[in-house]
Each structure stands twice: as C-alpha cells, then as structure tokens.
Amino acid sequence: MDRDKLTDRMIPEPNKNIRIARECDVVVVGGGPGGIGAAVAAARNGAKTVLIERYGYLGGMGTGGLVTIIPCLSDFNGNMQIAGINQEWIDRLDKREACSYPRQEIWGADDQHLIEYWNDRSFFSVREEKIVYSVIIDAEVSKCLLNDMVNEAKVKTYLHAWGTMPLMEGNKAVGVVFESKSGRQAIMAKIVIDSTGDGDLLPFTPAGFDTDIDPKMRIANLSLCFWIDNVNLQKCEDFRRGNTAAWNQMMEDLTSQGGIAGFFRSNLPNQENVVWFHPRYSCKSQIDLEELTRVEMLGRERMLLTHDYFKKNIPGFESSFIVLSSPQLGTRGARRVHGDYMVTEQDLNNDEPFEDTIAVFPDLDRGKASIKHPLTYIPYRSLLPKGVDNLLVACRAFSSDQTANNFFNLIPHCIAIGEAAGTAAALALDQSVAPRDVDLAGLRARLLAQNVILPGYPRKNRVKNPEAYTYRAPRFGRPPPKAPNASKSE
C-alpha cells in the first residue's frame, strides 16, 4: 500500500447516542464577522441564541487571521453605507483608542495632500482619488470587545467547539452536532445559521453550492499573515526613497527566492515599529485538509525566509523580530451556497435595489466603468439556501457567483449579512413563520432601528465618536496635512 496516497475506502461510523447539550431558538456556527453579526442580532431581537466557535476567540479572519483592515464603509462621495453592528464594534474600539481611520469630515475629499497622506498610511482609505471611510483595528483588543458584545447580548457561547454537521429532519435543519474536549454533543435549535465562512454545514443538507474560483482572483488564495516588530520605518523609508533601483532589485531577488516583498505599516496607535505581511499562496482548494497543511507549513517557511532577508539586507530591519504569525490560516473563498437568489457580476453593475435589500455595499474601485454604479445591494434571498428550511447562510458563503463574492466577502460586509440573518431568524420565530416567509417590512423596520443603512431611508450621522482618537503621529517625519475646510482633520 502506498502510504502517501489517500484511500477511497469507507467504514461505517459506529452508531452512538449524542448528548443534547442545549436547546435554543437559534444556533450560529462560526464566530467570525458573519457569526458575530448573526448571534448578536438574533439574541438582541429576543432569540435564545447559542454560538459555536472552533477556536478560543471570536472574530475569525478579523482577529485570528490578522486581517485588520475594515474597508469600504463609505462610498466615494463620503456617505457612510455600512453601519449597524459593524459601526458599534468600531465605536467600542475607538473608545479604547484601538483603531485608526480618517475623520468623518474628510470622507469624500479629493484634496491631493490628503490623498497622498492617506495613500501612504492605508491605501484602503483612498478610492478613486477620494478619501473613504475605512478603519484599521487592533486584533487583540477586538477579541476582548467581541466577547463583551456576545456576553452583553446574552448569547451562550461555546469556544473550542467545532460544528461538524447539521441535524436535519428531511429538508429542515433542527440542530447541529459539534465536537470538543467534552466529546461529541448536539445543540437543538429552531433555526440554524451557518457562519463558518466556508459553508461547512452545506454538504450535509440538500442545498447546492459552488466551489469554483478562477485562480487569478483574490479569493483563490490562502494566506499566512505575519507581523514584524521593532522596525525603524524612518530608516527603511529613507533607504527606499534614496535607492529606488537597489530597492527594486532587492525585492525582485527576494521574490525570486519565494519571499514576500510588500508590507503594510500597522498604522495603529503605539505600533509605529510594526509592519504587516499579507502573502498569497495559490492552492487547489481551501477546504482540503492536505492543502491547508501544506500551505500552513509553506507559509511559515516563507515567513522565516522573508524576515531573514529583510534583517540582513534592508536598513531599519536590523533589530526587528517576528512578533506574531496568524493563529489561523487566511481563507478567502470556499463553498458558496445556491440561494433563493444568487448575487452575480451583473448585479454589481445594476443600480436597482432589491425589494428585500438587507445591506448596501459601496463599490470597491473596480475600475472607471464601475463608477456609474457605486453601490451594490444584497437581497435577503441570497442568505436562504434553496430547498432547505430553517437554515440561513450568514458569512462569505452567501449565494454569489465568484465575481460578486470576490468583491464583497469582506469583514464589514459579512457582519452586515450576519446582522440581517440574525434579525430575520428572531423575527421569523416571533411571527411563527419559516425564515423564508418572514415579513420584509418588519425586517426592514428592525434593521433600520439597529442603525443599518438601507436604500431609500434617510441616514443619520452614525459615527458616535467623531471627536475620538484617530492616528496622530507623523508619517516618516511628515506632519499630516490639514483638510481644506476643516481644522481637525488628518
């Protein structure tokens, strides 16, 4: 027998009874952006809610994946488009000085000094030569604040618990099986929400799903992000600016050895000496155990290689060290459910909101052609797996083709999707109807009351702390420019 080959052989799993750990109204599997939105919204709307998360912290990619850029919260004109629970999370971070973003009065500004400054700091804050609202967050503080949010909402949370399959009665989801140090157990629930990011529950339901991704797309890649601390960025930047040709040659050398050339500055208060690397590794599948293991190991090998190179060759990195590699592999795209409606590339170019719009996503700068259509609308139906009852998908596995998913499976977007799913689940239970039959006017009213932004309704000033901390230290010795008509902007 070839020990390196996977076998196709099967054995029946021995039958055994599973202890029912809890019975609840809504069980949410996965505590990432989608799951946080779903669990907090369901519980706040009166549903007895259980949240299951495989790791020891909440936040998914936004904390454990070291993906701490929360982008595209306003459109090119500076109008906020994603608020609700996402903005509440930012407000909480803001109170602790654990995030950084351009102040509200400069959103939409096209002043060249501001553009240059923010491009330098965080290119996600500049789109189509205008300042947009994007936030950099502190991952560690986030983990704590997300705990507060679920606990305050009275969500019963199980960390270190891996959701393995839904319990189905025909086409209807009635609970979830999960594994943990306490063994295999079940949660019985009136409504199940898959927020695993990867759509882990889907293969055990009648729902169809896609896994195809064009290898050239962003979401086709796995990542192992890492942070390097104790970098003298001023020295590094002086060297780069004074030796452009040598710098470019070095980065080429590094890349040819398999290293990672580009990095972001941390941009957070008191993290002036930290830089972030967000590599991309192509893979055959993001839900294949052997591929996940291969890339996890490759990522660490490349991280060491990269740091060794920078330390040896780049001024400013002499005393640097690897302070953190992401506790979880960066997964961008896996299963995408076939929902009652599939959001497609065509919808990205369509100005028409849906009757059941539950979230508005600003354009991501898809090129000049897209400027005519700066907003994309997400219908509630794209969270409902076709042919399955009492199951919602509230994460990047929402019903979308690969192009729509590539643009809109981001963190704030998944929180918004989750918030709508959790709210709809609680409302369905209040109304004693299936999630599919929930009253749309009622859902809209609840979302608006939660500060969610929907098309056709007036928006309030939703940044609660407009005077709160934004980054103050100068970039490489240069002071931040003033906005043309504002005294306090950066």
Ligand X SMILES: Cc1cc2nc3c(=O)[nH]c(=O)nc-3n(C[C@H](O)[C@H](O)[C@H](O)COP(=O)(O)OP(=O)(O)OC[C@H]3O[C@@H](n4cnc5c(N)ncnc54)[C@H](O)[C@@H]3O)c2cc1C
Using CA of residue 150, residue 151, residue 155, residue 156, what is the dihedral sign? positive
Q: Which of the ranges 33-41, 42-50, 238-246, 449-457 carries the binding residues for ligand X, by CB under 6 A?
A: 33-41
What is the nearest approach in angstroms of ligand X to the Cβ of residue 111? 24
Please tell me the count of residues contacting ligand X according to CB under 6 A: 38
69 binds ligand X (CB under 6 A): yes
Binding to ligand X by CB under 6 A, coded x per residue (else -) over 382-401, reads -------------xx-----
With CA atoms as reference, report the closest residue to 228 among 158, 325, 156, 162.
Answer: 325
Query: Which residue number, 143 or 386, has a Cβ lying nearer to ligand X?
Result: 143
What is the nearest approach in angstroms of ligand X to the Cβ of residue 431? 26
Cα 22 to chain centroid, rounded = 29
286 binds ligand X (CB under 6 A): no
197 binds ligand X (CB under 6 A): yes
Cα 212 to chain centroid, rounded = 20
246-266 burial, b at 16+ Cβ within 10 Å, e below that, comes to ebeebbeebeeeebbbebbbb
CA dist 340 and 299 (Å) reads 38
Q: Which of the ranges 106-114, 232-240, 408-416, 454-462 carries the binding residues for ligand X, by CB under 6 A?
A: 408-416
CA dist 175 and 7 (Å) reads 31
411 binds ligand X (CB under 6 A): yes
Q: What is the DSSP letter of 31?
A: -
What is the nearest approach in angstroms of ligand X to the Cβ of residue 432? 29
Beta bridge partners of 370: none
175 binds ligand X (CB under 6 A): no
CA dist 310 and 322 (Å) reads 11
Query: Do the strands 135-137 and 69-70 form a parallel or antiparallel pair, or are they unpaired?
Result: antiparallel
With CA atoms as reference, report the closest residue to 117 among 482, 383, 432.
Answer: 482
Among 25, 50, 55, 90, which residue interacts with ligand X (rule: CB under 6 A)? 55
Helices 440-449 and 411-431 pack at an angle, to 10 degrees, of 130
H-assigned helices in 361-479: 402-408, 411-431, 440-449
Query: Which residue number, 34 or 379, has a Cβ lying nearer to ligand X?
Result: 34
DSSP result, 68-109: -EE---B-TTS-B---HHHHHHHHHHHHTT-EE---GGGTT-
What is the nearest approach in angstroms of ligand X to the Cβ of residue 158? 9
What is the nearest approach in angstroms of ligand X to the Cβ of residue 217? 12
416 binds ligand X (CB under 6 A): no
Among 65, 102, 199, 299, which residue interacts with ligand X (rule: CB under 6 A)? 65
Q: Which of the ranges 8-16, 54-62, 108-116, 262-270 carries the binding residues for ligand X, by CB under 6 A?
A: 54-62
Query: Which residue number, 157 or 357, has a Cβ lying nearer to ligand X?
Result: 157
Query: Which residue number, 239 or 264, has a Cβ lying nearer to ligand X?
Result: 264
338 binds ligand X (CB under 6 A): no
332 and 238 in contact (C-beta within 8 Å)? no
Binding to ligand X by CB under 6 A, coded x per residue (else -) over 419-458, reads ----------------------------------------
CA dist 141 and 118 (Å) reads 24
What is the nearest approach in angstroms of ligand X to the Cβ of residue 52? 5
Among 26, 28, 30, 149, which residue interacts with ligand X (rule: CB under 6 A)? 30
Run of H or E including 241: helix 233-242
Rg (CA), the chain: 23
Q: Which of the ranges 143-151, 191-199, 457-465, 471-479 carries the binding residues for ligand X, by CB under 6 A?
A: 191-199
CA dist 391 and 205 (Å) reads 9
Query: Which residue number, 196 or 423, has a Cβ lying nearer to ligand X?
Result: 196
Interaction with ligand X in 85-144: which residues (CB under 6 A)? Answer: none
Q: Which of the ranges 24-32, 301-309, 350-358, 375-383 carries the binding residues for ligand X, by CB under 6 A?
A: 24-32
Mapped onto helix, strand or coil, the DSSP state of residue 392 is: strand
60 binds ligand X (CB under 6 A): yes
DSSP result, 295-361: HHHHHHHHHHHHHHHHHHHSTT-TT-EEEEE-SS-B-----EE-BSS-B-HHHHT--PPPTTEEEEE
- Position of minimal CB gap to ligand X: 32
Among 21, 25, 27, 33, which residue interacts with ligand X (rule: CB under 6 A)? 33
What is the nearest approach in angstroms of ligand X to the Cβ of residue 392? 13
274 binds ligand X (CB under 6 A): no
Residues that bind ligand X (CB under 6 A): 29-35, 52-55, 60-62, 65, 67, 69-71, 162-163, 195-198, 200, 223, 225, 278, 330-332, 395-396, 409-411, 414
